């Protein structure tokens, strides 16, 4: 594969950068929110994404018959990386998880209702997989969906649903066949979040961001809003998680934070001597720079494999997600260690090393190693699907 970008691709990056310069609003672009900056949770961020939709950027890789451009996946990658580098909202959830799953498996009714709205950014979704006893192991979900006339009655609880307090629709998995093995018998539904049987309660994370518990009490859903085939939901979730593991954990913020740490080391002094002369600090930076290049190439390999068609490459997604998020955490640890006690000052403190960026990064990176499937889950996927190891080893 070619690790260099073509002149056309670099020209697209320049166009995106000009767009970001024109919309450089701190309420929209905020790198200190780390990967949570990707969510479209304010009116200004929704307007920003709607403008990207008018430019045709939200459906770059979608089929033309659904309003897309049938472009190469590398353009979506370049767009997301540019957005992430500036701390802007990204295109992963609606365009990727929901949109691409509906294109592959949704009914014509669901495609007609939701795909145009996604391309215009007129709708926001929350994703409901995790439950109190089913975190990274989504196949263990127990929220029940029982046949009720020409629809289903949903009862149960979801947790860690990040967007439930502002989204309009809930993309939720429920168990429709309790007698089936746990990886079967799950069905995906689309449910309006203003349904009277839905209760949303906040959970505040150590990254100062809100996620939610969601309770569903006698929530009736028509058969029209069943996604794909009954009892095939886990297979669709698995495909979507491959996309999530790549698109929601971008590389450019890691590279940016590495540059920030390197610049700090180059200018700081400790005990009257340049910090950059410390051989231990230099060694640690060299290791991080080498590992960052590995993460970048793993991401490009996923993009390359994705362009071959079919489902998203599973093991490549897990390899990238595992390596990149663990690297992000190692980088956060290094930033705290190298900057010393001052690194504990809160983010945006002007007098703090790196203006407190290390402090916020240290808190956020814990979330990154869990979201989209914890690191242990990624290791299991790689072990089974790539190395051929048995499930119990």
Return the pLDDT at 136.
67
Q: Do domains 126-230 and 249-385 have the same CATH topology?
A: no
Residue 206 has what pLDDT?
Answer: 82
Whole-number pLDDT of residue 310: 59
Q: Are 236 and 289 in contact, with CB atoms under 8 Å apart?
A: no
3-class SS of residue 19: helix
What burial letters (b/e) apply to 277-302, b meaning 16+ CB within 10 Å? Answer: ebeebeebbeebeebbeebbebbbbb
pTM: 0.90
**Contact indicator for 18, 55 with CB cutoff of 8 Å:** no
Catalytic residues: 244
What's the pLDDT at 111? Answer: 98
Q: Domain locations in the chain?
A: 7-90, 126-230, 249-385
Name the CATH architecture for the domain at 126-230. Beta Barrel (2.40)
Token duo for residue 381: 């996927």
Q: What pLDDT is attached to residue 311?
A: 60
CATH top-level class for 249-385? mainly alpha
- pLDDT, block means (10 residues), the chain with 393 residues: 86 97 96 88 96 94 94 90 94 88 96 97 95 80 96 97 96 95 93 98 89 97 97 89 73 95 96 95 98 95 76 83 95 96 94 94 88 87 91 62
């Amino acid at each position: 594969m070619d690790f260099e970008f073509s002149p056309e691709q670099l020209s697209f990056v320049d166009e995106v950068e000009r767009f970001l310069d024109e919309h450089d609003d701190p309420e929209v672009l905020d790198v200190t929110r780390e990967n949570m900056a990707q969510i479209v949770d304010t009116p200004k961020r929704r307007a920003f994404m709607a403008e990207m939709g008018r430019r045709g950027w939200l459906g770059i890789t979608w089929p033309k018959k659904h309003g897309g451009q049938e472009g190469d996946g590398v353009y979506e990658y370049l767009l997301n990386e540019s957005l992430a580098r500036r701390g802007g909202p990204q295109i992963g959830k609606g365009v990727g998880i929901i949109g691409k799953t509906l294109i592959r498996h949704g009914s014509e009714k669901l495609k007609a209702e939701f795909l145009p709205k996604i391309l215009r950014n007129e709708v926001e979704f929350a994703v409901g997989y995790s439950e109190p006893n089913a975190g990274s192991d989504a196949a263990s979900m127990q929220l029940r969906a029982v046949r009720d006339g020409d629809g289903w009655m949903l009862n149960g609880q979801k947790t860690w649903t990040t967007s439930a307090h502002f989204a309009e629709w809930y993309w939720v998995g429920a168990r429709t066949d309790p007698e089936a093995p746990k990886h079967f018998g799950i069905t995906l539904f689309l449910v309006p979040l203003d349904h009277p049987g839905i209760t949303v309660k906040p959970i505040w994370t150590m990254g100062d961001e809100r996620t939610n518990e969601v309770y569903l009490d006698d929530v009736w859903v028509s058969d029209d809003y069943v996604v794909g085939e009954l009892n095939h939901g886990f297979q669709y979730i698995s495909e979507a998680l491959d996309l999530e593991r790549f698109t929601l954990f971008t590389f450019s913020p890691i590279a940016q934070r590495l540059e920030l740490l390197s610049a700090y080391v180059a200018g700081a002094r400790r005990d009257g001597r340049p910090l950059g002369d410390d051989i231990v600090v230099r060694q640690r930076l060299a290791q991080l720079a080498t590992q960052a290049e590995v993460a970048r190439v793993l991401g490009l390999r996923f993009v390359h494999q994705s362009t071959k068609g079919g489902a998203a490459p599973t093991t490549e997604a897990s390899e990238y997600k595992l390596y990149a998020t663990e690297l992000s955490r190692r980088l956060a640890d290094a930033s705290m260690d190298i900057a010393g006690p001052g690194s504990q000052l809160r983010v945006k403190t002007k007098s703090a090393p790196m203006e407190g960026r290390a402090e916020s990064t240290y808190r956020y990176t814990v979330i990154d190693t869990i979201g989209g499937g914890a690191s242990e889950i990624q290791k299991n996927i790689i072990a089974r699907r790539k190395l051929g190891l048995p499930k119990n080893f």
